[in-house]
Amino acid sequence: MRTRMIMLGAVAAISLAACSNGSGGGAYGGGGATSTSSPPGGAAATVATADAGTLGTVLVDGTGHTLYLFESDTGTTSTCTGTCAGTWPALVTAGTATAMSGADTAMLGTTTRDDGTTQVTYDGHPLYLYSGDSAAGDTNGQGIGGVWFAVTANGTPAKAGSTSSSSSGGGYGYP
């Protein structure tokens, strides 16, 4: 358990460094290539909901990974580029995103990123995954830097518990 806590602390420190306002250029990230996460085979993205324990019901992608919003974004414009996007890959789509299991189709949308990819939005917030979440049900990105939060089904930040948490199984109904 102690080793796990140390590892979570290291992941959080690396993530904060990657998304700090450094001299590398860009808001909350340095220059360089962006990273995105898209469904396999260039398919349309799927957004659903799942129970995330103390966070309540949050949005997940088609593989059950937690989706996050970045409070420093301006409207539907993503400000997470460069090294920030390496830590927080954008959820991109090759078509119209689909709402499933509790997600609201009317709240889904898209925005065009600086690199030309189409990022999925929910209630006007660009959606991201967190590179520190290795399995469906993980919520390790929750509260990082006080600006990254899982997204609730009504499109607001899930702020119940503002520190990173982890699931080592059992989250979202997965063993």
CA distance 150 to 52: 9
Query: Which residues, 6+ apart, have CB-to-CB distance to 45 below 8 Å?
Result: 38, 39, 61, 62, 91, 92, 93, 97, 98, 120
Query: Please, what's the b/e burial string for 73-105 (b: 16 or more CB within 10 A of its CB; e: otherwise)?
Result: beeeebebbbbbbbbbbbbbbeeebbbeeebee
pLDDT per residue over 57-105, tens digit each?
A: 999 999 999 999 999 999 999 999 999 999 999 999 998 999 998 999 9
End-to-end Cα, the chain, rounded Å? 19
Q: What is the pLDDT of residues 5-61, one digit of tens each?
A: 333 343 344 444 344 333 222 333 333 333 455 555 568 999 999 999 999 999 999
Can you tell me the distance from the alpha carbon of 174 to that of 17, in angstroms, rounded to the nearest whole number? 31
pLDDT, residue 159, reads 85
Chain-centre distance for alpha carbon 80: 11
